[in-house]
Amino acid sequence: MHKYRIIAILTLCIFFANGTYAQVFRAGAAFRIITPDPLLPVSGGIGKPDPVSEKKGDLYARAIVLEKGDTRIAIVSVDNLGWTSVLGDRSRSLIKEIPPENILIGATHTHSAPDAYAFPDEQAKVYADLEYLDWCTKQIAEAINEAINKMQPAVLKISVGEAKGKIAYNYYAPDLYDPGCGVIQAITSPGSDHDKPIFTLVNYAIHPEVIGPERGILTPDLCGPLYNRIESQVGGMAIFINSAQGGMVTADNRRENGKEANTWEECIRIGELLADEALRILTNAKVQTDPVLFCVSRKIRFPIESPEMKYIFHNSSLKFPGSNSDSVSTRINLLDIGTARILTIPGEALPNIGYYLKRNMNSLQPFLFGLTNDAFGYILTKVDFKSFKRYDYITRTSLGEMTGEIFINEALKLINENQISADKK
Ligand SMILES: [Zn+2]
């Protein structure tokens, strides 16, 4: 590991004869619409998906690719509840020009998209459309390949700040959520295409479940209006990556007398407000003309203790690798993109875990990419596990008591082995 880091740093120091850097930072972005035609039932969790009769907005796979020297990274966001590595690996196998471990695929967590887990019902019957899912994996690969082809020299703007206004809250305890919003924008280098945004990435913790699965509507929920607002304001492609939104950080669609607004208009209000806040947070960000690009990962393994989760792994027609064993493996990534340090989470970490990790990431600009590479339900600390009655549901839909501890320990090891952020500030 260290040997390769030294080689990477030496390579960074190589100059062309004319004095410019040999390594140019490049960025590209592309998307594919993955709205099923005809529409398919939608899933907000375990059990039989709900039928739909209309759509509001389209579902997307949105990909960005970054390159500097020998390092190339893809980050993909899929409008779905969760996108496991069983599907992600099918896309990775179709990409020749990026190592599979550098391809991060996450889900926005909309609760109004087709079932991508092939959830079994109580009779072990599965309703997912496997042909649709396979088609999506190809669309994702196409988006990544197009983004590779569209890469051009770029600079970055990065900022982290508090998104203000009525956007998110914690359904279990209103104030226990993280209003922190991270924004990364790649802009074409001056001279290449005159300072045009290539992409704007928004990282924020929220359940996009304003509409939810039970209203007969297929939709990206608040993410759709967020994409549209950013793209109409600044151009380029918008991409949303969720954060530590577990138990139970959700969209603030509360109305008086305990009522909720569950409409497309409310998706527009929240999506546009989050977009405006993200752009405001980015306003005074300094341009980073020669940003660092770094990516490492490690495989980790979780025991599967929850009977519900075991049942899904054993009976899903997606055929999870090792589905008959009592543990599951996944990959976590640590990235440095300019001054941003990013850690991925293979599920829905509770906000207290999110705060703890951000505080220990040795970065002034910590980002958490939730539901990325895998989405194994809720991630609680062993102390939260089976605690409040309120936590019954998230306890049952987590892998087990040690999931949070294992994840935190492995993440901290990865962070401590790769202290590049300290050097570059
Ligand atoms: Zn959730």
Instruction: Write the pLDDT tens digit of every residue in 260-303.
Output: 999 999 999 999 999 999 999 999 999 999 999 999 999 999 99
Helices 223-234, 264-282: axis angle to 10 degrees equals 40
pLDDT the model gives residue 425: 44
For residue 106, with 0-12 CB atoms within 10 Å meaning exposed, 13-18 middle and 19 or more buried, which class applies? buried
Which H helix or E strand runs over 352? helix 351-359
Question: How confident is the model at residue 195, as a pLDDT?
Answer: 84
Distance 147 CA to ligand 1 centre (A): 29
**CA 109 to centroid of ligand 1, rounded, Å:** 7
Cα 348 to ligand 1 centroid, rounded to whole Å:
6
Ligand 1 midpoint to CA 67 (Å): 32
Q: Which residues in the chain come in under a pLDDT of 50?
A: 1, 7-21, 422, 425
Residue 5: per-residue pLDDT: 52
Ligand 1 centre distance from Cα of residue 47 (Å) = 14
Contact 31, 64 (CB under 8 A): no
**Tell me, what's the pLDDT at 325?**
81
Distance, in Å, from the CA atom of 42 to the CA atom of 3, rounded to the nearest integer, reads 48
- The secondary structure element, H or E, covering residue 240 is strand 237-242
Residues 297/148/88/404 CA torsion (nearest 10 deg): 30
Q: How far is the CA of 82 from the centre of ligand 1 (A)?
A: 9
- The verdict on pTM exceeding 0.85 is yes
Ligand 1 centre and the CA of 247: distance in Å? 8
